Homo-oligomer: A and B are copies of this chain.
Amino acid sequence: MAEEANPISYEDLDAIEDEFQDIDTQILRTQYELSADVYAKRAQAVARIPHFWPLVLEQAPPEIDQYILPQDSRIFGESLINLEVRRPELGGNKGLGDPRSLAFKFEFRPNDDFEDAVLEKTFWYRRARDGWTGLVSEPVKINWKSGKDITQGLTDMAKALFDARRKAGNMTATDLPEYTALRNKVESWDALNTSFFTWFGSVSGRRYVTEEESIKANEDHAALKARRAAGETVEFPEETDSDDDEAAEVHQGGDELAISIAEDLWPNATRFFTQAQEIEEMSDADFEEDEDEDDEDEAVDIRALVRDKSGSSRAARHADEPPNKKLKR
């Protein structure tokens, strides 16, 4: 490299990017701490607004909305009573954990679809031994009522494969009957033709990385960074490609969906709710002339589902009982 006085290498740029990333995680931590009280205040407020979260989900941005099929809208509208997003490695004793890990708690009223009052899905930010970093998640069992599984068995199969792999002590095993079964099933499915609830069965955009592997890989990475910072030329591990697990992943892009919910739907929930209200008002105006035409065409419309049982939304708004979701201005 004698030709160039001060050659810049990709490694130099990578080192700078690492510094940016360290700042970003620090900022995520600070933001989480600073906003915890305001999120608690919001939770208290929206708990007094019936159907707040179903209405928010109805106005979800495209990256989320694409996964909400009519059956999902129906379940949210009928049963979802609360949503909570946390960063499970922050707060309390684990305050110094990775702020990129995400936990989602969906609370439901008793319903005809599943037994669970709470579905909680956690994504852990982990580093694989080959240097890949990203979110991984353990499939969540949904106790569907008989004949009600709108994921067509996918969440159960994802859970079964995960448990079988854990038992076998090999999280990438492909020689298990549970793997073959799920792979064959997944071939004819993807996230776009099955339920949002399939997301609860998702594992990773790549492969599952255990906590143990991640701790070791982070230690190795930190050691390499320290040597690089000391001026040494070091070689970071190269990511290897593996399609095996994509073939048995019940929800492609489950990690991206998690990030969209945490970084867009969750912080902007009030805005999406307000949008839903405004659309409702416009829709009410449309209905002025035909109040008798009820909600028959809107089976998948959460706004219809959350209307007063007595009839159209206009009826609900003008009833003597307080409207079930309109706020006073």
Q: Which residues of A contact B (CB under 8 A)?
A: 1, 3-4, 6-10, 12-13, 16-17, 19-20, 23, 26-27, 30-31, 34-35, 38, 41-42, 45-46, 48-49, 267, 270-271, 273-274, 321-322, 327-329
Interfacial chain B residues near A31, Cβ < 8 Å: 23, 27
A-B contact pairs, 11 of them (CB 8 A): A1-B328, A4-B322, A7-B48, A8-B48, A8-B327, A10-B327, A13-B42, A13-B270, A23-B34, A27-B27, A30-B30
| Copies of chain A in the complex | 2
A267 and B20: CB pair below 8 A? yes
Contact pick for A322, options B3, B41, B322, B327, CB 8 Å: B3
A35 and B10: CB pair below 8 A? no
A8 and B38: CB pair below 8 A? no
Please give 7 more A-B residue pairs, beta carbons under 8 A apart, in addition to A1-B328, A4-B322, A19-B41: A8-B46, A13-B42, A13-B45, A13-B273, A16-B45, A23-B31, A26-B34
How far is the CB of A277 from the nearest CB of chain B, in Å?
9
Which 9 pairs, one residue from A and one from B, show the smallest C-beta to C-beta distance? A3-B322, A19-B38, A23-B34, A27-B31, A9-B328, A8-B48, A23-B35, A4-B322, A16-B42
Contact pick for A27, options B7, B9, B34, CB 8 Å: B34
Q: How far is the CA of A12 from the CA of B273 in the complex (A)?
A: 14
Interfacial chain B residues near A20, Cβ < 8 Å: 35, 38, 267
Q: Which residue of B lies closest to A48 (CB)?
A: B8
Contact pick for A38, options B7, B23, B46, CB 8 Å: B23
Q: Which residue of B lies closest to A4 (CB)?
A: B322
A327 and B35: CB pair below 8 A? no
**Chain A contact residues, majority secondary structure:** helix
Interfacial chain B residues near A30, Cβ < 8 Å: 27, 30
B41 and A9: CB pair below 8 A? no
How far is the CB of A50 from the nearest CB of chain B, in Å?
11
Interfacial chain B residues near A17, Cβ < 8 Å: 270-271
Q: Which residue of B lies closest to A12 (CB)?
A: B45
Tell me whether A48 and B3 are in contact in the complex, defined as CB-CB below 8 angstroms, given that A27-B31, A270-B16 are known contacts.
Answer: no
Q: How far is the CA of A322 from the CA of B7 in the complex (A)?
A: 10
> Which of A13, A35, A271, A273 has the largest count of B CB atoms less than 10 A from its CB?
A13
Q: How far is the CA of A270 from the CA of B20 in the complex (A)?
A: 11
How far is the CB of A56 from the nearest CB of chain B, in Å?
12
Q: How far is the CA of A19 from the CA of B42 in the complex (A)?
A: 10
Q: Which residue of B lies closest to A28 (CB)?
A: B27
Interfacial chain B residues near A3, Cβ < 8 Å: 321-322
Contact pick for A328, options B7, B34, B35, B270, CB 8 Å: B7
Q: How far is the CA of A23 from the CA of B322 in the complex (A)?
A: 34
B328 and A48: CB pair below 8 A? no
Interfacial chain B residues near A321, Cβ < 8 Å: 3
Q: Which residue of B lies closest to A18 (CB)?
A: B38
Interfacial chain B residues near A329, Cβ < 8 Å: 9-10
Q: Which residue of B lies closest to A39 (CB)?
A: B20
How far is the CB of A122 from the nearest CB of chain B, in Å?
24
Q: How far is the CA of A6 from the CA of B321 in the complex (A)?
A: 15
